[in-house]
A and B are shown apart, each in its own frame.
Chain A
Amino acid sequence: MTFHPNMPYDTGLHASARQLPDPGEPFAFTPERRARLEEIAAHYPPERRRSALLPALHLVQHQQGHVSARAMEHVAEVIGVTPAEVEDVVSYYSMFYAQPVGTYVLQVCRTLSCALNGAERVTDVLSRTLGIKPGETDASGMFTLMEVECLGACDRAPVVAVNEHWHELVTPEAAARLVDDLRARGPAALSGCHLCVEKGK
């Protein structure tokens, strides 16, 4: 389907195309997460429980890394909407993953301020080091590489978010070191972030 004879349809998946979510394993919230969800749901009027849908999906992702079809069914039941409505939301928001991802999701901000400061080269180095293209997970299942749009930290460009931890002012060399460090030290390698250091966390 091309709109213009000279232009291959090369910009990736069209926004309206449906990609089936991973079916996944049987899913239920842990009692702690279920209790947390009810705390959050109390922020909204009782008849507006659907407002807790995004928070519920964040909790799913904390629990199993991605939002599988089975998890969508569970969330639908807990929130009181249909599984189709849940999938509708999951497929819209870029932070929700409907497919399994690696232990560490490396998200390189690719938008202008980061790009002006070398984000493209950071992505290339990570791609070479891991042997995968953006959007892919490596064979070990440890790393997923992604290019994401503006993370809102343009003064500390380029930014690479690793799961929820931001690494700032990342040079291509630092990006390669980060991969080695994550392999060697695991989550301890995430403690070098600007915000974590400043808050003493």
Chain B
Amino acid sequence: MEPVLTKFVHEPNSFTLDVSLTHGAYEGLRKAVTMQPGEVIDAVKASGLRGRGGAGFPAGMKWGFVPKDSPKPKYVCCNADESEPGTFKDHVLMERNPHLVLEGVAIACYAIGATTGYIYIRGEFWHVAAVLEGAIAEARARGCLGADIFGSGFDCEIHVHLGAGAYEAGEESALLESLEGKRAQPRLRPPFPAVVGLYGCPTVINNVETLANVPFIIVNGPEWFSGIGPEKNTGPKLFCVSGHVNAPGVYEASMHTTLRQLIYDHAGGIRGGRQLKAVIPGGSSTPVLLPSAIDVPASFDGVAAAGSMLGSAAMIVMDDTTCMVWAAENLIHFYRHESCGKCTPCREGADWMLRILRKIERGDGAMRDLDLLESVARNINGKTLCPFGEAEVAPVLSTLQHFRHEYEAHIREGRCPLHADWRRGA
């Protein structure tokens, strides 16, 4: 597949309006403002575009939930929190093709009747925020954003809002809380943000990559878009591959591409010619897969059928030097740190799981700890306000399922049997 979203990101100064215009920037917005807002939503619905942030929810349907008769202002929030471990695709888009992201936000605003869009970007991406702010200034100066865009009477202002280090801010209702100047903690739903969102107003929240697809759907038509990739898994897709591969990076491909092709063809195979041991297919919140399960399409439905999730399409590849108990402990440390603390099962459960994992990993575990670990995990699952609970148990339950023998070896031998040279104290 010819790259669409990342077509010119390797060109010098790809982030400038001049270079972007030579590649058709803002043509989608120019066309969208001549259409009825409902037609724009219909086009996105017909394209089959599914959210690229993790859940894979149809974007057009989300836009359609916004009440048309509400007297309140409406908002679009672009979720640029990109905090899921293993994920770095939105980073590339915003840094190298910011005008595409801005165009997507503006079209979404037009479609739902909003005049203000916020890009909520994680605080550590301050340099990317600066690129976006520069791009906004350039676009406003040339009439691509601001008042009366392309003489259509449509006004649209986009602002960049910098977060301050909170994984949970990537959850859409927590993102709204953070944007309102509070702790990033999730809201009870319903009501959903499409009806009661930012400042209590109807709000659409989409991932960066989701919005970046929208201009192409408007320019090339929904049929073009749905012609890429398998049915119900349409359009170009960015894949992040990191870990023990020769060429980690962001790769754009259709969702026909298999996990194996991404690891061995795109990312150059396993480092040092070693054997693949396990792969996390969609960011740290998705269950680990065995090498025997990687001949499936890297699509929402394909990865789900293999027993995991496409998530944010962030593959973390682990070779045969990796201790899976150590890997689970590493990720649970992350979740324990990032749990927002609102729901007791998630807050206390993460802490408890970490203590059990540490005990096993350092060789002090007992066989009964495995049952305790599983019991704690199962008591978090489904008992929290947001999907964080399911996310934090995925590394534990999937490694227990596929690598129980490694846990048992730690307990039997009273040590970590697989202490690789790239680890602490090696």
| Interfacial residues, chain A to chain B (CB-CB below 8 A) | 3-4, 6-7, 9-11, 14-16, 43, 45, 48, 50-55, 57-58, 79, 81, 88-89, 92-96, 110-113, 115-118, 120-121, 123-124, 148-157, 161, 164, 166, 195
Contact = CB atoms under 8 A, between A and B. Distances in A.
A115 B318 CA distance: 11
Contact of A3 (B118, B341, B352): B352
A15 B355 contact: no
B244 interface: yes
Given A88-B182, A149-B334, A154-B87, 7 more contacts: A55-B161, A94-B166, A96-B164, A113-B248, A116-B318, A154-B86, A161-B124
B183 A195 contact: no
A155 B164 contact: no
A154 B317 CA distance: 11
Contacts of B178: 54
B167 interface: yes
Interface in B168-205: 178-184, 199
11 contacts: A11-B354, A16-B341, A81-B181, A89-B183, A93-B164, A113-B248, A117-B243, A121-B424, A124-B424, A154-B240, A155-B250
The range of chain B's interface size is: 35 or more
Contacts of A89: 181-183
Nearest to B82: A152
B87 A79 contact: no
Contact of A111 (B244, B330, B359): B330
Interface in B66-112: 73, 82-88, 91, 95
B272 interface: no
B164 A57 contact: yes
B27 to A, nearest CB: 27
A193 to B, nearest CB: 9
B173 to A, nearest CB: 16
A11 B355 contact: yes
A95 B124 contact: yes
A154 B316 contact: yes
A155 B334 contact: no
B399 interface: no
A58 B347 contact: no
B246 to A, nearest CB: 12
B410 to A, nearest CB: 15
Contact of B179 (A7, A51, A118): A51
A118 B243 CA distance: 10
Given A15-B347, A150-B334, A157-B248, A48 B180 contact: yes
B330 A115 contact: yes
A122 to B, nearest CB: 10
B333 A110 contact: yes
Interface string B217-245: 00000000000000000000000111110
B180 A50 contact: yes
Contact of A112 (B284, B352, B423): B284
Contacts of A118: 422
Interface string B309-333: 0000010101000100001001101
A45 B199 contact: yes
B159 to A, nearest CB: 4
Nearest to B359: A7
Given A51-B179, A55-B162, A152-B125, A111 B85 contact: yes
Nearest to B319: A116
Contacts of A96: 164-165
